[in-house]
Amino acid sequence: MNNSTAHASGHYPDETTTKLDAVESLRRAAVSASSDPTRPVFHFLPPANWMNDPNGPIHHNGYFHVFYQHNPFAESWGNIHWGHARSRDLVHWEHLPIALSPSADLDESHCYSGSCTVRRDGTPVILYTKVSSRGAREPFEQWMAVGDEDLLTWRKYEHNPILSIDRHDGPAVLGNWRDPFVFHENGRTYMILGAVLSETPDEEAAVLLYRACNDELTEWTFQSVLFSSPKYERGFLECPNFFHMGDEWVLFVSPYHPVEYYVGDLDPKSLTFRPRYKDRVDHSIDFYASNTFQADDGRRIALGWIRGFEKGRAWNGCLSLPREIERAHDGALVQRPIRELSVLRGQGYTLEPRWIRSRVERVPGLRSATLELRTVLRSASTGRFGLRVRMGTSDHSGVEIALEHDALNVAGMKVPLPQGHDPHRLDLHLFLDRSVLELFSFDGRVAVTKTMYPPEDCLEVGLFAYGQAKIEEFDAWELKPASIEGFPGRTQHLQR
């Protein structure tokens, strides 16, 4: 019986067997996955099969570590493990052994999302949500795993759970509370969880706040309902993140539709979050379950799960490009792809300033499915204007990004313009990675991620205007693949 059959029938192998079988399953699937011409080459993804939420990103001992929700046995969701990789620069990656596998002997069927942090004594720990073989019919629990100094091997805490519904001492919640996010403030360690308050009149989707009672992070006490929203508006606040940015606090939530952020204050007495500004982290549902961490140089970096890929390709899902987050003067967040990505640039293409009048201007010589592009266009009329990537022979082919009236149109999806923005100016910074498009516009205030499948031979780029528009700036680069080395389960080549 193979593992996908075992999972479907409700019987799970023990954890050691699971990890060994997982590596073999990935080896088999990787042959097909690596030959797929739509598979991204500079976005991080596993060797094969399914991935979703990024988990526990952390900078530790000179490396950036990222964990992720992973089914090593199939290209669909299920049998959730924690995959693991590390990087020196967030561009080139090294696969590490699978960090967490479900422990059948402990009635664990999935290892859901969570955080990685370091205790006061220097011990790395993972806090995550344990799901039993009965799924949501039995309340989820929050578990801990303890790592070695290099985060390569993990063992589950022998006295799990560290937090359960029957002793969380907070309001009544439904049983599928989950996705712990850990942060430190004023010498104390806190954790937030997504939950649904079950005894409010209409049920509330909520973020609950807990404080660690000991340095081992094995005992927690309820502090407050940090934030809540009617359940009919946001069914569940998945993957919450809460962090300081300047003199304000920022909350990220994934409420079953595009990821949202809130900027506001934390009341020091009630420990409730009072937002003053809200918007979307990314306007597409193809970007989801984001997670943030602080780099060693102080930057706040965000990662998301890119989804929406076609089935039947032996892989499904990748990480977004790492994004640096900053606050604008009006409270909005600004996102920019990290500067380290410039190491991937190959041949460059530049256009001198010029006018486009009711036509399409193709970029001479540029034919690529992997590129970075920056441009500023300004319209002198009311007609639609913008650019198209992955164009074929027709001037109307390709994936269109256009400014039209009061919206930015990205591959047919309309995104409202930020308040106060000049409706005649369009700035674009985009990354194209075969089937993935990540776009940043309006000085980083708008981000849009899309998965797409144009014909493989459509590789050109064109700028267009229905009316008059000026190309004020244009630079593009073909991008080289990122290096993603190693394979889960093999550690002898690793060096500190």
Alpha carbon 15 to chain centroid, angstroms: 27
pLDDT in tens, 113-163: 999 999 999 999 999 999 999 988 899 999 999 999 999 999 999 999 999
- Specify the residue for token string 């394979």: 487
Alpha carbon 364 to chain centroid, angstroms: 34
Residue 93's closest CA among 268, 387, 454, 340?
A: 340
**Measured distance between the N- and C-terminal CA atoms of the chain, rounded to whole angstroms:** 39
Residue 453 has pLDDT above 50, yes or no: yes
E strand or H helix that includes residue 6: helix 3-9
Residue 14: the pLDDT is 55
Alpha carbon 495 to chain centroid, angstroms: 27
How many structural domains is the chain composed of?
2
> Rounded to whole angstroms, what are the CA distances from 122 to 109, 211, 298, 320?
30, 19, 20, 30
Among the residue ranges 230-244, 357-371, 437-451, the one predicted with the least confidence is 230-244
Q: What's the whole-number average pLDDT of the chain?
A: 93
CA-to-CA distance for 484 and 486, rounded, in angstroms?
Answer: 7
Are residues 46 and 115 part of one domain? Answer: yes
What's 296's DSSP letter?
T
Residue 197: the pLDDT is 95
Residue 76: the pLDDT is 98
Residue 4: the pLDDT is 36
CA angle 31, 438, 463 (to 5 degrees): 115
Are residues 373 and 263 part of one domain? Answer: no
Domain span holding position 131: 3-337
CA-to-CA distance for 37 and 246, rounded, in angstroms?
Answer: 43
Could you tell me which residues come within 8 angstroms of residue 362 by beta carbon, excluding any fewer than 6 positions away?
Answer: 391, 460, 461, 462
- The predicted model gives 220-239 an average pLDDT of 94
Residue 480's closest CA among 169, 42, 12?
A: 42
Check which CATH number belongs to the domain holding 241 and give it: 2.115.10.20
Residue 9: the pLDDT is 33
Task: For residue 496, tell me if it sits in a domain.
Answer: no
Are residues 385 and 294 part of one domain? Answer: no
Residue 494 has pLDDT above 70, yes or no: no
Check which CATH number belongs to the domain holding 372 and give it: 2.60.120.560
Are residues 427 and 405 part of one domain? Answer: yes
CA-to-CA distance for 166 and 168, rounded, in angstroms?
Answer: 6
Are residues 20 and 85 part of one domain? Answer: yes
What's 36's DSSP letter?
-
- The tokens for 169 are 């001492």
User: Quick one: CA torsion of 229, 231, 235, 238, rounded to 10 degrees?
Assistant: 40
CA-to-CA distance for 35 and 16, rounded, in angstroms?
Answer: 30
- The predicted model gives 295-319 an average pLDDT of 97
- How many Cβ atoms are within 10 Å of 313's Cβ, its own excluded? 18
Sort strands 188-197 and 204-212 into parallel, antiparallel or unpaired: antiparallel
Residue 55 has pLDDT above 60, yes or no: yes
Residue 345: the pLDDT is 98
Cα dihedral across residues 369, 373, 58, 212: positive or negative: negative
Are residues 322 and 306 part of one domain? Answer: yes
pLDDT in tens, 16-51: 556 778 999 999 999 999 999 999 999 999 999 999
Are residues 374 and 299 part of one domain? Answer: no
Are residues 283 and 158 part of one domain? Answer: yes
Q: pTM here?
A: 0.94
Q: Is the peptide bond between 161 and the residue preceding it cis, with omega within 30 degrees of 0?
A: yes
User: Quick one: CA torsion of 114, 120, 124, 126, rounded to 10 degrees?
Assistant: -20
